[in-house]
Structure 1
Protein backbone atom coordinates (compact mmCIF):
# COMPACT_ATOMS: atom_id res chain seq x y z
CA UNK A 1 0.00 0.00 0.00
CA UNK A 2 2.02 2.96 1.27
CA UNK A 3 5.48 3.69 -0.10
CA UNK A 4 7.39 5.77 2.47
CA UNK A 5 10.68 6.29 0.58
CA UNK A 6 10.24 10.05 0.73
CA UNK A 7 10.17 10.50 4.53
CA UNK A 8 12.08 13.80 4.45
CA UNK A 9 9.82 15.78 2.12
CA UNK A 10 7.55 18.47 3.58
CA UNK A 11 5.00 18.46 0.75
CA UNK A 12 3.80 15.87 -1.74
CA UNK A 13 1.86 16.45 -4.93
CA UNK A 14 -1.50 14.81 -5.48
CA UNK A 15 0.08 12.53 -8.09
CA UNK A 16 2.71 11.34 -5.58
CA UNK A 17 0.04 10.62 -2.97
CA UNK A 18 -2.12 8.83 -5.55
CA UNK A 19 0.86 6.60 -6.45
CA UNK A 20 1.53 5.85 -2.77
CA UNK A 21 -1.94 4.36 -2.40
CA UNK A 22 -2.38 3.15 -5.98
CA UNK A 23 -5.53 5.23 -6.45
CA UNK A 24 -6.60 7.88 -8.95
CA UNK A 25 -6.06 11.56 -8.23
CA UNK A 26 -9.78 12.07 -8.76
CA UNK A 27 -10.48 9.75 -5.81
CA UNK A 28 -8.29 11.91 -3.56
CA UNK A 29 -10.11 15.06 -4.71
CA UNK A 30 -13.43 13.30 -4.05
CA UNK A 31 -12.32 12.27 -0.56
CA UNK A 32 -11.44 15.91 0.16
CA UNK A 33 -15.10 16.77 -0.42
CA UNK A 34 -16.35 13.83 1.65
CA UNK A 35 -13.98 14.07 4.64
CA UNK A 36 -13.54 17.45 6.35
CA UNK A 37 -10.38 16.12 8.05
CA UNK A 38 -8.62 15.96 4.68
CA UNK A 39 -7.59 19.47 3.69
CA UNK A 40 -4.26 19.61 1.83
CA UNK A 41 -2.73 23.05 1.44
CA UNK A 42 -3.37 24.66 -1.93
CA UNK A 43 -0.47 26.61 -3.37
CA UNK A 44 -0.44 28.95 -6.32
CA UNK A 45 -2.92 28.07 -9.04
CA UNK A 46 -4.75 25.71 -6.67
CA UNK A 47 -2.05 23.01 -6.72
CA UNK A 48 -2.55 20.67 -3.77
CA UNK A 49 0.34 20.16 -1.37
CA UNK A 50 -0.10 17.20 0.95
CA UNK A 51 1.75 17.27 4.28
CA UNK A 52 2.66 14.18 6.27
CA UNK A 53 -0.49 14.69 8.42
CA UNK A 54 -2.63 14.76 5.25
CA UNK A 55 -1.05 11.51 4.10
CA UNK A 56 -1.81 9.94 7.49
CA UNK A 57 -5.44 11.01 7.07
CA UNK A 58 -5.52 9.51 3.54
CA UNK A 59 -4.01 6.31 4.97
CA UNK A 60 -6.78 6.12 7.57
CA UNK A 61 -9.53 6.81 5.00
CA UNK A 62 -8.00 4.23 2.66
CA UNK A 63 -7.94 1.67 5.48
CA UNK A 64 -11.56 2.26 6.48
CA UNK A 65 -12.99 2.41 2.95
CA UNK A 66 -10.77 0.16 0.84
CA UNK A 67 -9.46 -2.39 3.32
CA UNK A 68 -12.33 -2.63 5.82
CA UNK A 69 -15.04 -2.03 3.23
CA UNK A 70 -16.86 0.72 5.13
CA UNK A 71 -19.22 3.06 3.35
CA UNK A 72 -18.18 6.70 3.02
CA UNK A 73 -20.82 7.86 5.53
CA UNK A 74 -19.72 5.11 7.94
CA UNK A 75 -16.04 6.00 7.62
CA UNK A 76 -16.81 9.71 7.93
CA UNK A 77 -18.83 9.08 11.10
CA UNK A 78 -16.12 6.83 12.55
CA UNK A 79 -13.49 9.52 11.97
CA UNK A 80 -15.76 12.24 13.36
CA UNK A 81 -16.91 10.41 16.49
CA UNK A 82 -13.74 8.69 17.55
CA UNK A 83 -10.77 9.51 15.34
CA UNK A 84 -8.18 8.80 18.08
CA UNK A 85 -9.48 5.29 18.81
CA UNK A 86 -9.84 4.60 15.09
CA UNK A 87 -6.26 5.74 14.54
CA UNK A 88 -4.98 3.59 17.42
CA UNK A 89 -6.82 0.54 16.05
CA UNK A 90 -5.41 1.23 12.60
CA UNK A 91 -1.87 1.49 14.00
CA UNK A 92 -2.32 -1.81 15.82
CA UNK A 93 -3.52 -3.47 12.61
CA UNK A 94 -0.51 -2.05 10.73
CA UNK A 95 1.90 -3.35 13.40
CA UNK A 96 0.27 -6.77 13.31
CA UNK A 97 0.62 -6.85 9.52
CA UNK A 98 4.32 -6.07 9.79
CA UNK A 99 4.80 -8.75 12.48
CA UNK A 100 2.96 -11.22 10.25
CA UNK A 101 5.28 -10.38 7.33
CA UNK A 102 8.29 -10.85 9.60
CA UNK A 103 7.00 -14.22 10.76
CA UNK A 104 6.37 -15.32 7.18
CA UNK A 105 9.96 -14.43 6.35
CA UNK A 106 11.20 -16.41 9.35
CA UNK A 107 9.08 -19.39 8.36
CA UNK A 108 10.46 -19.30 4.82
CA UNK A 109 14.00 -19.23 6.24
CA UNK A 110 13.22 -22.19 8.48
CA UNK A 111 11.57 -24.07 5.63
CA UNK A 112 14.80 -23.67 3.63
CA UNK A 113 16.75 -25.43 6.41
CA UNK A 114 17.94 -28.85 5.27
CA UNK A 115 18.67 -32.03 7.12
CA UNK A 116 22.36 -31.41 6.47
CA UNK A 117 22.10 -27.95 8.13
CA UNK A 118 20.62 -29.53 11.25
CA UNK A 119 23.34 -32.20 11.36
CA UNK A 120 26.06 -29.55 10.97
CA UNK A 121 24.56 -27.51 13.84
CA UNK A 122 24.43 -30.60 16.05
CA UNK A 123 28.07 -31.37 15.29
CA UNK A 124 29.12 -27.80 16.12
CA UNK A 125 27.21 -27.90 19.41
CA UNK A 126 28.83 -31.20 20.35
CA UNK A 127 32.30 -29.74 19.67
CA UNK A 128 31.56 -26.70 21.87
CA UNK A 129 30.42 -28.73 24.89
CA UNK A 130 33.15 -29.68 27.34
CA UNK A 131 33.73 -33.24 28.10
Structure 2
Protein backbone atom coordinates (compact mmCIF):
# COMPACT_ATOMS: atom_id res chain seq x y z
CA UNK A 1 0.00 0.00 0.00
CA UNK A 2 1.48 3.37 -0.87
CA UNK A 3 1.74 6.29 1.55
CA UNK A 4 -1.21 8.20 0.12
CA UNK A 5 -3.48 5.19 0.40
CA UNK A 6 -2.43 4.68 3.99
CA UNK A 7 -3.15 8.31 4.85
CA UNK A 8 -6.61 8.02 3.34
CA UNK A 9 -7.33 4.87 5.31
CA UNK A 10 -6.51 6.68 8.56
CA UNK A 11 -8.65 9.72 7.80
CA UNK A 12 -11.84 10.09 9.79
CA UNK A 13 -14.95 11.07 7.89
CA UNK A 14 -17.37 13.19 9.91
CA UNK A 15 -20.85 12.81 8.45
CA UNK A 16 -20.65 16.33 7.00
CA UNK A 17 -17.42 15.47 5.17
CA UNK A 18 -18.56 12.25 3.50
CA UNK A 19 -18.30 12.07 -0.28
CA UNK A 20 -21.00 14.01 -2.13
CA UNK A 21 -23.22 11.08 -2.98
CA UNK A 22 -26.42 10.54 -1.04
CA UNK A 23 -26.27 6.74 -0.74
CA UNK A 24 -23.47 4.22 -0.32
CA UNK A 25 -23.15 0.49 -1.00
CA UNK A 26 -21.76 -1.78 1.73
CA UNK A 27 -18.32 -1.92 0.09
CA UNK A 28 -18.11 1.87 0.06
CA UNK A 29 -19.15 2.06 3.71
CA UNK A 30 -16.56 -0.59 4.52
CA UNK A 31 -13.82 1.44 2.81
CA UNK A 32 -14.85 4.68 4.53
CA UNK A 33 -15.16 3.12 7.98
CA UNK A 34 -12.30 0.61 7.70
CA UNK A 35 -14.65 -2.08 9.02
CA UNK A 36 -15.36 -5.32 7.16
CA UNK A 37 -18.67 -5.66 5.34
CA UNK A 38 -19.59 -8.68 7.48
CA UNK A 39 -19.05 -6.69 10.68
CA UNK A 40 -21.10 -3.80 9.30
CA UNK A 41 -23.93 -6.23 8.53
CA UNK A 42 -23.71 -7.55 12.10
CA UNK A 43 -23.91 -4.02 13.49
CA UNK A 44 -26.89 -3.32 11.25
CA UNK A 45 -28.72 -6.21 12.90
CA UNK A 46 -27.79 -5.03 16.39
CA UNK A 47 -28.63 -1.33 15.99
CA UNK A 48 -32.19 -0.62 14.79
CA UNK A 49 -31.14 3.02 14.28
CA UNK A 50 -29.30 1.89 11.14
CA UNK A 51 -31.96 1.70 8.45
CA UNK A 52 -30.71 1.08 4.93
CA UNK A 53 -32.94 1.36 1.90
CA UNK A 54 -33.24 -1.31 -0.75
CA UNK A 55 -32.89 -0.65 -4.43
CA UNK A 56 -35.33 -2.13 -6.91
CA UNK A 57 -32.78 -4.94 -7.38
CA UNK A 58 -32.77 -5.70 -3.65
CA UNK A 59 -29.33 -4.23 -2.90
CA UNK A 60 -29.05 -2.37 0.39
CA UNK A 61 -27.84 1.21 0.26
CA UNK A 62 -26.96 3.34 3.25
CA UNK A 63 -27.64 7.05 3.68
CA UNK A 64 -25.20 9.50 5.23
CA UNK A 65 -26.97 9.17 8.59
CA UNK A 66 -26.37 5.41 8.52
CA UNK A 67 -22.72 5.88 7.56
CA UNK A 68 -22.37 8.40 10.40
CA UNK A 69 -23.77 5.81 12.83
CA UNK A 70 -21.35 3.17 11.57
CA UNK A 71 -18.49 5.62 12.10
CA UNK A 72 -19.71 6.46 15.62
CA UNK A 73 -20.02 2.76 16.51
CA UNK A 74 -16.51 2.14 15.22
CA UNK A 75 -15.15 5.08 17.22
CA UNK A 76 -16.84 3.93 20.44
CA UNK A 77 -15.75 0.31 20.06
CA UNK A 78 -12.22 0.72 18.76
CA UNK A 79 -11.06 4.18 19.82
CA UNK A 80 -12.86 4.60 23.15
CA UNK A 81 -12.71 0.83 23.90
CA UNK A 82 -16.31 0.66 25.14
CA UNK A 83 -18.06 -2.68 25.48
CA UNK A 84 -20.68 -3.59 22.90
CA UNK A 85 -23.43 -3.05 25.51
CA UNK A 86 -22.05 0.39 26.38
CA UNK A 87 -22.06 1.30 22.68
CA UNK A 88 -25.65 0.06 22.36
CA UNK A 89 -26.69 2.16 25.35
CA UNK A 90 -24.93 5.24 24.06
CA UNK A 91 -26.33 4.94 20.52
CA UNK A 92 -29.88 4.27 21.74
CA UNK A 93 -29.72 7.12 24.27
CA UNK A 94 -30.12 4.78 27.26
CA UNK A 95 -26.82 5.82 28.74
CA UNK A 96 -27.22 6.65 32.40
CA UNK A 97 -26.92 10.33 33.11
CA UNK A 98 -26.05 11.89 36.44
CA UNK A 99 -28.18 14.82 37.46
CA UNK A 100 -26.62 18.08 38.67
CA UNK A 101 -28.14 17.43 42.11
CA UNK A 102 -26.33 14.07 42.31
CA UNK A 103 -23.05 15.71 41.30
CA UNK A 104 -23.53 18.45 43.91
CA UNK A 105 -24.31 15.88 46.63
CA UNK A 106 -21.19 13.90 45.74
CA UNK A 107 -19.02 17.02 45.84
CA UNK A 108 -20.44 18.05 49.22
CA UNK A 109 -19.65 14.59 50.57
CA UNK A 110 -16.06 14.88 49.32
CA UNK A 111 -15.77 18.35 50.88
CA UNK A 112 -16.89 16.97 54.26
CA UNK A 113 -14.28 14.21 54.03
CA UNK A 114 -11.55 16.76 53.32
CA UNK A 115 -12.45 19.07 56.23
What TM-score do you get using the length of structure 2 for normalisation? 0.63
Which of 64, 75, 85 does residue 87 from structure 2 map onto?
Answer: 75
CA 1:41/1:67 → structure 2, altered by over 3 Å: closer, same or farther? Answer: same
* Over 6 Å off, 4+ runs: none
Number of equivalences: 83
Query: Rg bigger for which structure?
Result: 1
Q: What is the root-mean-square deviation in Å for CA atoms of aligned residues?
A: 2.1
**Equivalence for 2:60:** 48
Greater helix fraction, Structure 1 or Structure 2? 1
Q: How does 1:1-131 map to 2 (within 5 A)?
A: 1-2=11-12, 4=17, 6=19, 8-81=20-93
Gaps of 5+ in 1: 84-131
Match of 2:24, SS state, is coil
- Asked if structure 1 preserves the Cα contact closer than 8 Å seen for 2:18 and 2:64, the reply is no
Deviation at 1:45, TM superposition (A): 3.9
Higher relative contact order (CA 8 A, sep 6+): 2
Gaps of 5+ in 2: 1-10, 96-115
Deviation at 1:81, TM superposition (A): 2.1
- Asked if structure 2 preserves the Cα contact closer than 8 Å seen for 1:34 and 1:72, the reply is no
What TM-score do you get using the length of structure 1 for normalisation? 0.56
